[in-house]
């Protein structure tokens, strides 16, 4: 003879519509965290990177720039992967394009 307490301890069988709904509710917070992370972290960073790539590809002679190392200069010559900068007098530096930022003091 099986007691009634033992049947209550067994619980409901897994599967069915209730099991599928429960799995969705379980993963919903994880999904929401990912969506928020994408909207506030990944997407703005991708947009900023795209703008920097567009800026670096549109550099031309005479543009004011600053390097990531803090050197201010004016573009003297543009090549595929680097630019030549005039940094004062007749001093010129060869700088990788990825190390250039827009000079915030430049008037466009």
Check: CATH 2.30.30 for 60-108? yes
H-only helix segments in 1-108: 4-10, 16-37, 43-57
CA 64 to chain centre: 26
Rounded Cα–Cα distance for residues 106 and 16 (Å): 66
pTM: 0.64
The residue ranges of every structural domain in the chain are: 15-58, 60-108
* pLDDT tens column, 70-100: 999 999 999 999 999 999 888 999 999 999 9
49 vs 24, residue with greater confidence: 49
């Amino acid at each position: 003879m099986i007691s009634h307490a033992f049947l209550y301890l067994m619980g409901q069988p897994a599967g069915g519509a209730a099991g599928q709904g429960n799995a969705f509710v379980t993963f919903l917070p994880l999904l929401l965290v990912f969506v928020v992370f994408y909207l506030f972290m990944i997407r703005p960073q991708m947009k900023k990177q795209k703008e920097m790539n567009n800026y670096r590809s549109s550099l031309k002679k005479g543009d004011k720039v600053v390097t990531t190392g803090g050197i201010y200069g004016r573009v003297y010559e543009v090549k595929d992967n680097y630019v030549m900068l005039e940094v004062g007098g007749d001093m010129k530096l060869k700088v990788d394009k990825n190390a250039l930022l827009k000079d915030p003091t430049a008037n466009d």
